[in-house]
Each structure stands twice: as C-alpha cells, then as structure tokens.
Amino acid sequence: METSEGRKRALDSREIGVLGERLAARYLYLREGYKVLGENYRAPKGGEVDLVCRDGDVLAFVEVKTRTSEGYGRPIDAVDDVKRRLVAKGALHWLRQLNHPNINFRFDVAEVLLKDGERPQVSLVRGAFELPEPFLY
C-alpha cells in the first residue's frame, strides 16, 4: 500500500489476513473448481471458518493461513490444536444450520505466501486434519 506521500507502507496483520483470504477464495474457485458458499463464518457460541466451499459432492471447511515469509515454517504449521477446534466448532454449527445433512465433509488448509516483490503463492492441502478428538462420538 502507498501512503498519501507516495511511500509504500507495510500491511498490518489484519490486512495480510484479508488479502490472503481473497487470494485463497479466488484460487479455490479458478484453479481447484471449488464453489465458495461462505466466507468468515462465525458460529454464535464460538467457532470460525474462513471459507466454506463445495468441492464436488464434498463440503470443504477451509482454514486460510497467510504468511509473508517462511521464517517460522509453512503457513499450515500455524494450524494448531486450538485453531483446529475452532474450525471444527464452526463447521459443526454450519452443518447444524443445514439440519445435519447426510453429506461428506473435510477440513482443508489454504496456504498463502506473500513475499515482498514476488507474486503471491497459494497452495491447498486437502484433508489437512480430521475432526479433533473431543468432537468424535
């Protein structure tokens, strides 16, 4: 981004996240054939899903992780147990809103890498994680 004086300024973490989600949604639609059904879904009692998509006959709950370098590892490395539980909670709420349809679903992670001076890199990890243990009945 540029300031009013014409100088470039660094994006803050929120802006980086928003940009990453937009790039991921576009990538999933154009390159992977996903249909984006929802963005930034927040369940009323906690839980969140960045992108809810349809991939053929599968509902994909997609966590988007955006980084500006790989200094701390791949973006997917930031999808820890806490984040997985939040995504799972949001996904299960989405499914309850649909009256528990008999549909296959999975959890994907879209990795976005925004290195200064380079084209953004987006990759997809299908089935990146399973429903966390406390959610298994």
pLDDT digits (tens, 9 = 90+) for 86-131: 999 999 999 999 887 789 999 999 999 999 889 999 999 999 999 8
pLDDT at site 135: 61
Q: Is the pLDDT of residue 37 over 60?
A: yes
Q: Is the pLDDT of residue 13 over 50?
A: yes
Residue 31 is classified by DSSP as T
Cα-Cα-Cα-Cα dihedral sign, residues 21, 41, 125, 104: negative
Residue 122's closest CA among 14, 32, 11?
32
Q: Is the pLDDT of residue 33 over 50?
A: yes
Which tokens sit at 107? 């959890």
Q: For the chain, what is the mean pLDDT?
A: 90
Give 70's pLDDT tier (boundaries 50, 70, 90). confident
Which tokens sit at 77? 């490395």
Average pLDDT of 56-79?
94
Q: Is the pLDDT of residue 132 over 50?
A: yes
pLDDT at site 137: 36
Average pLDDT of 3-18?
75
Residue 132: exposure state from Cβ atoms within 10 A (0-12, 13-18, ≥19): middle
